Amino acid sequence: MTPDKKQAEPFRLVIPFMLRQWARHPWLLAAILGGMGLATLTDVLVPIYAGRLVEAIATAGANREAALDQALAALGLLALLGLALLVGRVAGILAVIALTLRSMQHAGAGAFARVQRFSADWHANGFAGATVRRISRGMWAIDLLNDTILIALLPSALVLLGATLMLGWRWPAMGLLVAGGGLFYVALTLFLSLRWVAPASRLSNGWDSRLGGAMADAIGANNVVKAFAAEAREDDRLGWLIDKWRRRTRRGWRRGAASEALQTVTLLLLRIAVIGIVLWLWWQGQAGPGDVATVLTMFFMVQGYLRDVGYHISNLQRGVNEMEEFVHLFRTPQGIADAPDAIPARIDEGKIEFRKVTFRYGGHPDPLYRDLDLTIRAGESVGLVGPSGSGKTTLIKLIQRLHDVTGGAVLIDGQDVRGVTQGSLRSRIAIVQQEPVLLHRSLAENIAYARPGASLEDIGRAARLANAEDFIDRLPRGYATLVGERGVKLSGGERQRVALARAFLADAPVLILDEATSALDSESEAAIQQAMARLLVGRTAVVIAHRLATVRAMDRILVFDQGRVVEEGDHASLLDRPAGLYRRLFERQALELTQGR
């Protein structure tokens, strides 16, 4: 892509996006155009009546009373124009405020909804802090762009057009000078902003996003930073990023200052030319004192608008740059999207089938699964074991449709998961993860996350079944206790029991347990094993286990190795295979436990 195309790309993305936002509110847009148009028209007429007032005074002679009447009439008209200016501008600004707030609301909610539906891979590869910054910065960029375009640049363009017509109707040469000089100034400002200042600003914004992401990364993992006494290292890392941001931002600001100086020189030359021509017209007898006053007043008004155009175009460029990443969120493919004809899933029994499933991660030449056939009967509890990277976690992600198969199909109760809506599919699957993440809300809200309308009685019943009631009752605020960001105020075992209570309350026919006891002490593990046994009853359960004791009571155990099911059976039958992988894993864990004692 050439440099020119790179410069124009943000405008091609952002301006159509803004036009679509405006088109959603045509009456507000009409009110803005009407109000700003009225205010601009009054501004253009002011120099004419100011000139008449000066003409009346300058040519009063002996008939001072008639001159006074003319001057007072001009003054009255100037007062009426001022009132019309006030009404038009206030009406236009109020309409801009309404349009801006509605656009920010719609765009912000739309961006958040879209990010929520991006694939798990997208979220895994990005910083949460940087994403939040993109959305918030994009929302405020709408405010900046609306103010810049509708309150600043639109009146400036109308004033330049009106002044050109007014002056050109009386003195064509003057009209041409104002029009030509004004357009040259705008073109120069655009050139400097887009071709010189903008590249530096975009680079500065890029480092700003990296800076925000780095801060969020370090602050979000503060417990790890503290654990390794890495505060100084993180300070140094952030210091390096801030220094890069400072130098990139300094270059952008210096270029902005130089651009403003060149624009000021251009306006100064245009002012000298206009004053010189009006003096020549006066000398030639083609302009009287009132005409001179009209021209000078008109030009100084136009100059005021033009001087601000440079600032407004800089704001326009800044707003476009700040909104570019925001608009890209709406252009980024969702990764996993509902089919156009997707229907709500109907899952009652929970039978799961993998039919000739082939799956490869993006960029990997070799598939993880090749023609995998697997059936999990309704109500059956199945344990998944095997070395890291053998395909256990991928299996449950395919069941939830966090990834799409490369070939074949995954079916639940006979329905291809690609043919149903993702929301309805996942609402019928309860999951307890290895490291359950809680929202920074109350315990009651976290337990009821799968059923927001659940009563406190139902929430308490789920907590009892999950062996969570005792520790919750000991808290000063009980179920109203805030758990902290990602649940940091609770221990690992407490977070796990809250996650189990959430699964109990969801009451879904399909249950997934992803190494739910791998990082717990023996006492917490015993309480959670007991709760898990209750949770498995009457459900189709898929249990990933690092500790093989977790799957001993499963109806069936599948042993994975390099994407294949290499062994299958219950705990006893798998131990009877002397050279089996399951037996080797079991004996290794038993040896580790013995040595640990």
* Contact residues for 9 (Cβ-Cβ < 8 A; gap 6+): 1
Percent of the chain at pLDDT exceeding 70: 93
Burial of 470 (0-12, 13-18, 19+ CB in 10 A): exposed
Please give the pLDDT value at position 308: 75
**Cβ–Cβ under 8 Å, residues 524 and 496:** yes
- pLDDT for residue 8 is more than 70: no
User: What is the SS3 string spanning 386-443?
Assistant: CCCCCCHHHHHHHHCCCCCCCEEEEEECCEEHHHECHHHHHHCEEEECCCCCCCCCEH
Average pLDDT, the chain: 82
> For residues 46 and 561, which has the higher predicted lDDT (pLDDT)?
561
Read off the tokens for 191: 């050139």
Read off the tokens for 177: 């000078």
Please give the pLDDT value at position 183: 83
- pLDDT for residue 353 is more than 90: yes
Which string of b and e fits 344-371 if b means at least 16 CB within 10 Å? ebebeebbbbbbebebbeeeeeebbbbe
- Can you say whether residue 279 is alpha, beta or left, with left for phi > 0 and alpha for psi between -120 and 50 degrees? alpha
Percent of the chain at pLDDT exceeding 90: 17
> For residues 81 and 24, which has the higher predicted lDDT (pLDDT)?
24
C-alpha R_g of the chain:
35
Per-residue confidence band for 3, with pLDDT thresholds at 50, 70 and 90? very low
Per-residue confidence band for 4, with pLDDT thresholds at 50, 70 and 90? very low
Least confident of 378-387, 490-499, 520-529, 559-568: 520-529
Angle among Cα 317, 203, 141 to the nearest 5 degrees reads: 35
When pLDDT is averaged across residues 234-243 and rounded to a whole number, the result is 86
**151-155 LR contacts (CB < 8 Å, sep 24+):** 151/36, 151/92, 151/93, 151/96, 152/308, 152/312, 152/315, 153/309, 153/312, 153/313, 153/316, 154/33, 154/36, 155/36, 155/39, 155/40, 155/43, 155/305
When pLDDT is averaged across residues 523-536 and rounded to a whole number, the result is 73
Phi then psi dihedrals of residue 25, to 5 deg: -135, 70
Phi then psi dihedrals of residue 278, to 5 deg: -65, -35
Tens of pLDDT, residue by residue over 371-395, are 999 999 999 999 998 888 888 889 9
CA distances in angstroms from 52 to 114, 278, 285, listed in the order given: 60, 16, 17
When pLDDT is averaged across residues 7-35 and rounded to a whole number, the result is 87
Hey, what amino acid is at 409? A
Output helix, strand, coil percentages for the chain, rounded to the nearest 5: 70, 10, 20
When pLDDT is averaged across residues 180-207 and rounded to a whole number, the result is 78
- Cα–Cα distance, 123 to 103 (Å, whole number): 26
**Cβ–Cβ under 8 Å, residues 357 and 365:** no
Ordered by start, the domain boundaries in the chain are 13-331
Quick check: helix, strand or coil at residue 371?
Answer: strand
Per-residue confidence band for 257, with pLDDT thresholds at 50, 70 and 90? confident
Most confident of 179-188, 236-245, 566-575: 566-575
Please give the pLDDT value at position 522: 55
* Contact residues for 421 (Cβ-Cβ < 8 A; gap 6+): 338, 342, 343, 344, 345
Phi then psi dihedrals of residue 514, to 5 deg: -105, 90
CA distances in angstroms from 529 to 111, 209, 493, 525, listed in the order given: 41, 44, 11, 6
DSSP 144-162: HHHIIIIIIIHHHHHHHHH
- pLDDT for residue 521 is more than 70: no
**Cβ–Cβ under 8 Å, residues 344 and 177:** no
- Cα–Cα distance, 95 to 476 (Å, whole number): 50
**Cβ–Cβ under 8 Å, residues 163 and 178:** yes
The DSSP letter of residue 518 is T
- Cα–Cα distance, 491 to 68 (Å, whole number): 87
Please give the pLDDT value at position 62: 58
Please give the pLDDT value at position 420: 93
Question: In CATH, what number does 13-331 get?
Answer: 1.20.1560.10
Say how many CA atoms lie within 13 Å of 508 toward its Cβ. Answer: 28
> For residues 41 and 435, which has the higher predicted lDDT (pLDDT)?
41
- Cα–Cα distance, 390 to 216 (Å, whole number): 32
- pLDDT for residue 531 is more than 60: yes
Note the pTM of the prediction, 2 decimals: 0.69
- pLDDT for residue 520 is more than 50: yes
